[in-house]
Structure 1
């Protein structure tokens, strides 16, 4: 089976800094794959490169068999990849509804868009209660839900999630991770970058461990969660 996302030997630089050093990874349709690693390991840089915000100097990224490395970000959204950025990046001065409308900007199917608003409100009932509220007045957890809802409005085949648990209380983190599992069960493939390695490994099918821009370990998420090295380095074991 061909991978949905296939990253081959990419090298990415920030100016003179060699941030990603020849990594290769795959995400198959229907999976949750997680990238774990310390701060500055290159996890977010990898997602930003997949979503077209950065261009690899060498290597290639393929999505559904087509090369996407080097394409503008909006074309990558059109191809079926949507990202929930680190720090949420919602539009604080706009209402919840306006933020969701922006998520559907590449679409013209009015009926489908209406259906998807309902889908988002069913998945995130708190957003339905606050749809006319300014997004900046929402709690951190609600803003994370809005960022996820907005990304789902483009009907992605692949959802990139960058640190969804950041700054959230433990109960909310559990809720957000349950929602990620539901989104995946409903048919969206997920590539997840997460500091909370315990939570990430508990919901993922497979995982890659990144250290200073290189993949040092990869495999079944449950097996990695049980590995002595991973436990010592990332799980506080």
Structure 2
């Protein structure tokens, strides 16, 4: 099980704000790794830097041995990383099908794309039922499924998930998280940013705790879930 993603000492600024202060983390092949922390700790900023939407001022990001810090987001998707953005950001006035097609835009293997479409529909039957519907008319949970399905259409080796539980009812959160585990079992490595620390730690192998742009704790997810400090701060007692 090799190291798939290696983030070394990255520093990211939003204008004059030093948002990420020298963060290092790793994701090994086949793992689910989660970043937990309060709102505004910098969790989403890290994902956006890995996926190429933000550039680190200093630091290295290696994916499968290649330095990807600062290369164009589209090239990063081509190299095998796909992000499900926070707030779902699907194309509301396009159909479910058109959204999924867009997920595969970096690919030209027609047979493989068809195969993956079948796989997405098997995983998210509700999307198949609504494939000709405009995405904006879907419920919040269905939009989250569509955002995940669209990311999977690029056949990523590493899936970045930004707050997948946001705004969803508890039952749907359970469903989304069991789908994340399923995606991982079928060979996709996952880096998950999540406000719902309980859920995140329950499915992750390892976890990092982020506080105002710095990693303050790291370890096996089950150890962090049992830690007094984490329980007090993030697990409601």
TM range (shorter): over 0.9
Deviations along 1:43-84, one digit per CA (max 9) or x if unpaired, are 000000000000000000000000000100000000000000
Deviations along 1:194-219, one digit per CA (max 9) or x if unpaired, are 00000000000000000000000000
Residue in structure 2 matched with residue 40 of structure 1 by the alignment: 40
Query: Secondary structure at the residue paired with 1:198?
Result: helix
Query: Secondary structure at the residue paired with 1:4?
Result: strand
d(CA) in 2 for partners of 1:40 and 1:184? 27
Offset, 1:2: 3.9
Contact 1:32–1:203, Cα closer than 8 Å, also in 2: yes
d(CA) in 2 for partners of 1:235 and 1:20? 24
The equivalences for 1:29-108 within 5 A come to: 29-108=29-108
Alpha carbon RMSD of aligned pairs, Å? 0.5
d(CA) in 2 for partners of 1:65 and 1:97? 34
TM-score, normalising length from structure 1? 0.99
Residue in structure 2 matched with residue 4 of structure 1 by the alignment: 4
d(CA) in 1 for partners of 2:220 and 2:56? 27
Residue in structure 2 matched with residue 20 of structure 1 by the alignment: 20
Unaligned stretches of 5+ residues in structure 1: none
Offset, 1:171: 0.2
TM-score, normalising length from structure 2? 0.99
d(CA) in 2 for partners of 1:58 and 1:152? 30
Residue in structure 1 matched with residue 222 of structure 2 by the alignment: 222
d(CA) in 2 for partners of 1:207 and 1:52? 22
d(CA) in 1 for partners of 2:2 and 2:56? 22
Contact 1:2–1:65, Cα closer than 8 Å, also in 2: no
Deviations along 1:142-169, one digit per CA (max 9) or x if unpaired, are 0000000000000000000000000000
Unaligned stretches of 5+ residues in structure 2: none
Query: Secondary structure at the residue paired with 1:91?
Result: coil
Offset, 1:3: 1.1
Contact 1:162–1:193, Cα closer than 8 Å, also in 2: yes
Query: Secondary structure at the residue paired with 2:3?
Result: coil
Q: Which runs of 4+ in 1 moved over 3 A?
A: none
d(CA) in 2 for partners of 1:37 and 1:47? 14
Q: How many residues align?
A: 237
